Each structure stands twice: as C-alpha cells, then as structure tokens.
Structure 1
Amino acid sequence: MNSILNKNLFFVKEHVGMFKAANNYDIYDPNSQEMMMTCREENLGFFTKMLRFTDYKRMTPFNIEIKTATGEKVLTVKRGVAFFVSKVEVFDENDQLVGTFKQKFFSIGGKFNLFDANDNMLCMLKGKWTSWDFRFIKDEVEFAHVSKKWAGIGKELFTTADNYMLEVDQRVPENSPIRIMILAAVMCIDMVLKE
C-alpha cells in the first residue's frame, strides 16, 4: 500500500467541464495545498461517452485509476454496467483485489457496504439525502467522514463542481486496507449516488 494513504485529510477537487464525459479529480493535502494524487478515467469507450450525457449516466461502467502526483499507481476502481445497484471492485497498486462495495438497494441518501477481498464486511458508507454528508461506520464507530463543509475551510464550497473533504479518523491504523477502500468509495459517491 502506498504510504500516501496514511494521511488523514484529503481535499478532493472535481475538474469542471461543460461537456465532459470522464470523471476527473485532483486530490490535495489541505494543509500544504499541494496536489498529492490524481484520479482519472482515461479509457472511456465511445458508447460509454455517449451514454454519460443521457439519463443512463448512473448505469455506465467506469475504470478509474488514482495515482500519485509523480505518476505511481495507488489504486484502481472498476464497475461494469449497473442496472439497479452497483458492485464496485477495488484493486491495489499491483492490481490485486482489495475488496468490493455494494450499493444498498432501497436506501434514502445512499448506502454502500464495504467488504474485504474475502467478502467480510469492513464498514458501511451511509449518507444523508439532504446534504453532501457521508460517514464510514461500523458498530457505531466512525472510521471516516466526507463532507462539502469543513472547519478548516469554514464555508461550503460553492461551485458547480463537487469539491469535498475526506477526514479519516486517527484510530484507523496506518497501512490498513480499509484506507484503500475508503478512498475508493469516496471517488465513487459522486458517480454512483449523486449524479
């Protein structure tokens, strides 16, 4: 696992574009304001690009790579065509399966269950449908929190793009596979739940 995932704060900034089919983000260290990672969807097929501009956008497959600012692969997130619910696979920098997350069928605001490679539940991503506020929890313990609001910025980020802060709890051990799963799930909230 890349040591960059041992940080606890990540500011995710979406690339703004009028006619963009691909989902592209930059991930910054909010303290130094330096870009740490890029999240790119580079290999989009023609039909997928076309469907991204229709009501079927949430059903389209994706294959996203997150890399360090110097180009080292950190993780890959993949999903095939999704008809009712999403099952997303997460791979480490060596293309080894780390785990999956599955969307809950009838959930208000959106929910994912995160599983390790052996299908053991790690935690749940639970969101509020009225706001951009998501928490990674298990047994009432919060592992991480994602929001468009953050005390360090002090105000909501008013743009057309989705920019947000991921805060991983300090109790989550360094080099734990759950860190890979949390970052991967954050990148998919927008594509699966919020579009």
Structure 2
Amino acid sequence: MHAVLRKNQFFVQQQLGLLEMGKHFDIFDPLTQQPIIECRELEHRHFTRLLRILNWEALRPLHAELRTPEGKRVLRLQKCFSLLAVKIAIYDGNGGLVGYCQRMHQRADSFRILDPDERFIGELHSDQNNFLYRFVQNGQELACVSDHPWSLPQELRNHHHAYLLELNPGLAPESPLRLLILAALLARQMHSTNLA
C-alpha cells in the first residue's frame, strides 16, 4: 500500500467543468492543503458518454485511477456495463484485487464493501445526523464523511462539491479497509449527480 493511503484525513474536491464526460477529483491533505492524490475517469467512449448524458449512471462502465501528483498509481476502480447491479472491483497500485463495493438497490444511498472472495466486510451508508456518510463494520464506525464547514480547515471551507473523509485513527496503517473505504466513497460519487 502506498504511504499516502496511511493518512487518516482526506479532503476530496470534485472538479467541475462544462459538459463534463468524466468525473475527476483532487484529494488534499487537510493539514497542509497540498494535493496528494488525483482521481481520473478513463476511456470515455461514445456509448459511455450517451449513458452519462441520459443520466443512467448505474448502467455505464467505469474505469478510474487514483495516482499521486508524481504519477504513481495507488488505486484503480473498474466496472463493466451492467443492467442488474453496480459492483465495482477495487485494485491496489500493483493491480492486485483488494475487494468490491456494491450498490444496494433497496437502499440507493448505501454501498456494501466485500473482500476479494465477495464476503461482506462492512457498509458505507448515509447518515441523517451530522455526517453525510459513515462506514460501519460489525457496529463499529471506522470512517465518516462530512461537508460541514466546521469540520474543514479555514482555507478549504469555501469549496463547493467537496467533503472530508476521516478514518478512525485505530484503523491499522496497512489495513486494506483504507483502500476500500476511499474507493467506495468515490464510486458512490461517480454513480450519482451529487453526494447528498
């Protein structure tokens, strides 16, 4: 696992563009406000563009890579065209399968996290109180996502389409859950028109 993924806080900002055909994100270290990861969707073919224009996000294929500003790949998300379910494969920087995130049809705002053998690990779900999302495993909260200004550094409070991912400090630095949680959060954003 790349060292940048051992951090406990990630400030995620979506790039906005006119008639954008792919969703791109810049991820910063909230303490230094320095960019640490770039997330870019790849291969925007005509069929994929049509599905995006028609707002059929769940159907379209997905291929996104997360790289450091120096170009080192740290994570990859991939999904084929699907009519039935959104299940996105998550790979580490070396191409090894880490697990899957799967959107639940009965709860469109919820993603299940699965290990490489497709066993349930935990769930990223919406929260009705102070946070946008929480990641829960066996009743224990391992991460939360917030867009509230008071949870962000002063220099970052005026950004739109941005949020703060905070991982539980007790999560082991080498835990694959770090990759899975970040990937599930980005996957959820890529398959919707907004986060909330």
TM over 0.5: yes
Q: Provide the identity percentage.
A: 27
> What is the SS of the residue equivalent to 1:74?
strand
Cα shift readout 1:73-108 (whole Å, capped 9, x = no counterpart) = 00100112233431110001111110011112201x
Indicate the RMSD between aligned Cα atoms, in angstroms.
2.3
Structure 1 residue runs of 5 or longer lacking an equivalent are none
Cα shift readout 1:41-63 (whole Å, capped 9, x = no counterpart) = 12211221232111323321110
Q: Which moved more, 1:185-194 or 1:135-144?
A: 185-194
Asked if 1:179 corresponds to 2:178, the answer is yes
Residue correspondences, number: 193
| Structure 1 residues 180 and 150: alpha-carbon distance in aligned structure 2, compared to 1, 3 A threshold | farther
Asked if 1:36 corresponds to 2:36, the answer is yes
| Structure 1 residues 112 and 49: alpha-carbon distance in aligned structure 2, compared to 1, 3 A threshold | same
> What is the SS of the residue equivalent to 1:170?
coil
C-alpha distance in 1, partners of 2:131/2:20? 22
Cα shift readout 1:118-155 (whole Å, capped 9, x = no counterpart) = 22322111114799711000222001011222534379
Cα shift readout 1:24-55 (whole Å, capped 9, x = no counterpart) = 00000011000000000122112212321113
C-alpha distance in 2, partners of 1:133/1:52? 24
The residue number in structure 1 matching 2:25 is 25
The residue number in structure 2 matching 1:52 is 52
The residue number in structure 1 matching 2:161 is 162
C-alpha distance in 2, partners of 1:59/1:41? 15
> What is the SS of the residue equivalent to 2:150?
coil
The one-letter amino acid paired with 1:146 is V
C-alpha distance in 1, partners of 2:46/2:87? 23
- Runs of 4 or more, structure 1, over 4 Å off, are 129-132, 154-159
C-alpha distance in 1, partners of 2:121/2:38? 25
| Structure 1 residues 70 and 61: alpha-carbon distance in aligned structure 2, compared to 1, 3 A threshold | same
Deviation at 1:177, TM superposition (A): 0.6
The one-letter amino acid paired with 2:122 is C
5 Å-filtered alignment, 1:66-105, equals 66-105=66-105
